[in-house]
Structure 1
Amino acid sequence: MKILKHFLVVFLVEALLLGALFIWMPKQKNSNILASESKGENTIVLTKSNEETVTITAKNKETTKERDFTIFDEKKLSADIEWKNAQSAQVKIIGKNQDLYDVTVTFNGNKIEIRNGENDPLISYEETMKLQKEQEKKAKEEAMKKIEKMSAPTIALVKDITKDSDIENGYASTPAKPQAPITEEQNAQVNHGDDGALYDMKIEAGKVMVTLDGGGHWVNVPVNGSRLQDYWLTFYRMGNQSYYIDADMIMIAYCEKYQQPHIIMSKDQGKTWKDIRIDCESAGISQISIAKDKNHTYRIAMMSGDYLMFTGTSTDGINWTFDKPSGNDIEKASTMYSMALMKDGTILVTSFDDCLISKDHGKTYTSLKEINPIIAQQINYQLIPYDEDGTYCIPLKNGKVAKSKDGTNWE
């Protein structure tokens, strides 16, 4: 028993001695710290945060500032801190064969600057982003002020035409230049149904044709197909919402040279034609779409390259009442491909992976990506949305069509 007590006492004494020794031993230097030096109240520490990042931390009693530097998995890495004076130091991050970064750290009270070379910005990434947002906000406010001063579109010209060269293009009243022959890829077969009746439009070898009897007879439209169809610019292709046809009206909307909006129309089943040119205060229109609502009112929507939306209505297709342009909330789309006007006035604008939906003539938009991200990711941006008997339709990549009655619930 005495022997056991002796061993227990010896064990406890040794444990206490080892514990005390461990406490008082100098702690091993953190292997991730490449360098650390102080000058007065100012301290600089370089730490290898991970295999690809070195962090420089500069601090004093008033503040702390950090900045990360990418090192691309350097195996042999070191650092050097050389104080120029109590307020400034030159810091080097050194790789195996060369200096990777030559950084200046400057202390000035509660302001610390960490600069990588003379041309490095004096402000941090966060400050840069904040400044950029402020500049964008200011630019948008100025743009909105400019928009508020703009007038509503007007009808610049209504002209009887019998052939393509009768059309006056651009904002200058000059005859249209001969159009280049349309390519095979620019041919189009577009179906458009209204109230159960099927009417068709097609472009073949540069000729634009429409039929009112399901293809039994075709009527030539006096406009060259290359004005309506562009193979390379997806958003500048004919779609179901680019025209309207019934027994009383043939109406085709297009943009001359992506700027001047036109409507070419016939009220006698193609016997005579008129070209209507619309002036949007020199705004470059890149998208135009038309529809007829349940009250037999024709609607038009025109979108400019800088995302201004112009809308209007007409009861006869010739005399139009236009709204002043609405703001550019649509700019939330990263890349715009096509715009289509539904029969109830709803506007759909598709991009690579989203569709923006406006119920207020283009003033504000709701993102389909936020409503139904699965459908948004499947949008076929090469095909234009359309209205099918009051149902919004968006073609998908798998050949199917996403449909909605209200723009909120999709299936």
Structure 2
Amino acid sequence: MVGLGAFVTTIAQPGVIGRLPLQLLLKNELHFNAQALAAFMLVTTFAWNVKPLAGILSDAFPLFGTRRRHYMLLGASMAALCWFLLGVVPRAHGPLLLTAFGANAFMVIASTVMGGLMVEAGQKYGISGRVTSIRQALQSLVSLSNGILGGYLAATAFGWTAGIATALLIVLAVATFFVLTERPVAVRDRHVLANARRELATLARSRTLWASGGFLALVYITPGFTTPLLFMQTDALRFSTPYIGLMETIEGAAGLVGAMIYGFLCRRFSLRQLLTTAITINVLTTLLYLRYTHASAPFIHAIGGFAVICSELALMDLAVRSTPPGCESLGFALMMSARNFALGGSDVMGSWLIDSRGWVFHQLVWLNAATTALILVFIPLLPGAVVNRKDGEVAPGAASGAPPTEPAPARAS
């Protein structure tokens, strides 16, 4: 059940299997410019930015007496309905926006429940390593196959994309109904809300978290060019949609290689060294887009996929190390939500420069590289207790349970 849930709640997202088909539908049939398209995607995927609230909701407020079963049924079935409607509603901004937003919102519920099931199964049966491995393997499979699949689906009628996503979610809903048994005995748990308030207060007081969170914001808010690149691929370079999808698959494959290499390097170099190197490589890789052509695209996407995942893993490592003890799940989830929103905003910013200020693609590449390079100035300001150690080294104060750079809480005598 966990494997099926992880696969469906990943691939059936409008931003995964539907990303390229939906973007090209909006661009070609509704004649969206880059700015409108980036804003549309930012709004429709906003629910993923508040995913921690879905976790608190399912933990604290049982639905028909269960915390997992009925929430999964609700999320999967309603997401399937929204996907179906997305395929049949009039091709207009309003209907497409509402149905895509609904599909994402209910997918967030299903994905959150899947995460809860994974944790519960791992803890109950002592198989957390195997469950996590299955989830990561399925997500890697999706990342490799979705580019080619999305490229070919984008070349067909959008109804095929909506139909496949609807069918996958119906399978998940049916499997949940027959396989996921949970006795309806759960009651409202006030302790979940109390713990959430306590964790939020702890996070608000964490200087380490604020320092690292500010650094992450600076990295991700640099003006991006994801949507402008799509316009250049289709309008200027005349890439076919399968070829665009192939570029995404090449990025995914290179990213997997980068993840394996990072797992080796993080035990031999400090996080400060890794951040400096990864961001520098990212800047140099960004400049390769100045020479982006049909022939050079596979090489650039391969190098880019490798550089991006190395930077991403170093930044996620920073987020993990900076989260105060006792607030791990909520703290990390909040940082990832901020990351996702900043990424969407950066794409909107870059698209706005193209459409409203008359910039050209090469200018946007230079701006992205320059603002990313400026981030290197702030690395020395990061807390040393967080970034000066290698992976596997014990953080100062870890043995006593205190955060690495936070004073231990006062206790009443």
Name the TM-score, length of structure 2 as normaliser: 0.20
Tell which structure's C-alpha radius of gyration is larger. Answer: 1
Larger helix share, 1 or 2 = 2
Name the TM-score, length of structure 1 as normaliser: 0.20
State the structure with bigger RCO (CA 8 A, min sep 6), 1 or 2.
Answer: 2
Larger strand share, 1 or 2 = 1
